[in-house]
Homo-oligomer: A and B are copies of this chain.
Amino acid sequence: MTTPRTPYLRVDVGRLDANLTRVADRAASAGVALRPHAKTHKSVEVARRQLEAGAVGLTVATIGEAEVFVDGGCFDVFVAYPLWVDATAAARLRSLAERAVVAIGVDSVAGAEQAAGLLAGSGVEVLVEVDCGQRRTGVLPAGAGTVALAAARAGLGVRGVFTFPGHSYAPDALASAAVDEATALAEAATSVRAVGLDVRVLSGGSTPSLAASDLDVLTELRPGVYAFGDAQQWELGVLDPRDVALTCRATVVSHAGGRLVLDAGSKALGADRASYATGWGRLPAYDAARVVLLSEHHAVVDLAGAELPALGSVVDLVPNHVCAAVNLHDTLWAERDGALVAWTVAARGRNS
């Protein structure tokens, strides 16, 4: 058996499959499509398991991610991002559309017309992005029809509308974010239908808000983190820590000053720390412990009085944000029945 060097990412395949099945079953029983966001795992092996569990296709953030997953055998991809489509991007999207069903996001008339000018006739469809409260990208719901009409008039097929209820990432916000999500998508669909266009898809979903998403309104869910879970989900209370399927295995390198110092830092875990986070990651074996200082190659842990594990021993950490952690590694080490198999993070670094 290969023994990777710490710090490395370890996937519990049994937990992963259970997470995939649980969400797939919820989508299936509600009659909505599941299109998981592959930015979380960036790995063809996980994508295949999602498709086998019933996903209709994948969500990605970039054309580069789409290329990796189409090459890996997923033939239905949605780039859920308001791409600015220049000639190079258009050529890549056209190439993908020859092999797969491809859709992209738009959130402006100018963006829709720019995309249409280079993609008309390619088969690439668009979904209009709607802002349901995160205040990042997306038009306000009442403006969706205007963007959709611009796309359609310029020659692009309009599939529907989508939103990301990113404001669900806060304590006690998941239920209200899910209400915002459904309200915004319904209003946006009305706006698009009012300009005479069909709306086949109302797409939403985030891992925190997933259980509360209104599946009488949404026709598609795009969660990402649910596959692995992470310390953010744990601390938001939407995930049982026993369901966390990815950990970073680290070695104890120092007891300086009575501290526990591990060799997994921000270059292995990512530096994400949301305002509600209690530290830079969590330790499954030490519920009360917190990562109180994170450098590039050090995690300093307050063990809350527990005995320090010996120098040279190994400890598992749960990253705050698993999407960021995965993107720092070339390999996920998948563990089943005590054996480790290397899964390539094929879309690592595919930012464009």
Contacts and interface: CB of A to CB of B under 8 A. Distances in A.
A146 interface: no
Q: How many copies does the complex hold?
A: 2
Given A136-B298, A300-B136, A327 B267 contact: yes
A256 B114 contact: no
A96 to B, nearest CB: 15
Contacts of A321: 271
Interface string A113-141: 01000000000000001010001111110
A contact residues, range: 35 or more
B81 A297 contact: yes
Contacts of A349: 267, 328-330
B327 A61 contact: no
Nearest to A265: B351
B84 A311 contact: yes
22 contacts: A8-B352, A39-B296, A62-B297, A81-B253, A82-B256, A86-B312, A107-B254, A110-B311, A111-B311, A114-B311, A114-B312, A135-B293, A136-B293, A137-B256, A137-B261, A266-B324, A267-B349, A271-B321, A271-B324, A327-B328, A328-B351, A330-B349
Interface of A: 5-8, 39, 61-62, 81-84, 86, 88, 107-108, 110-111, 114, 129, 131, 135-140, 166, 251-257, 259, 261, 263-264, 266-268, 270-273, 293, 295-298, 300, 311-312, 321, 323-324, 327-330, 349, 351-352
